Amino acid sequence: MAPGGILPHRPPFLFLDEVTSMVAGERAEGYWQLTGEEPFFAGHFPGRPTLPGVLMAEAIAQLGACIVLSDERFAGKLPLFGGLDGARFRRQVVPGDRLDLAVEMTRLSARAGRGQGKASVDGDLACSCELLFVVVSAD
* Gyration radius from the chain CA atoms: 14
From the candidates 9, 27, 44, 91, which is the catalytic residue?
44
pLDDT digits (tens, 9 = 90+) for 62-101: 999 999 999 999 988 999 999 999 999 999 999 999 999 9
Give me the chain's average pLDDT, please.
Answer: 96
Across 43-61, average pLDDT: 97
User: Domains plus CATH for the chain?
Assistant: 3-137 (3.10.129.10)
pTM: 0.97
Per-residue model confidence (pLDDT) at position 113: 95
Q: How far is CA 136 from CA 15, 29, 77, 112, in A?
A: 22, 24, 6, 9
Across 51-66, average pLDDT: 97
Per-residue model confidence (pLDDT) at position 5: 87
Per-residue model confidence (pLDDT) at position 107: 96
Per-residue model confidence (pLDDT) at position 123: 98
Per-residue model confidence (pLDDT) at position 32: 98
Per-residue model confidence (pLDDT) at position 2: 86
**Is 9 annotated in the active site?**
no
Across 109-131, average pLDDT: 97
% of the chain surpassing 70 pLDDT: 100
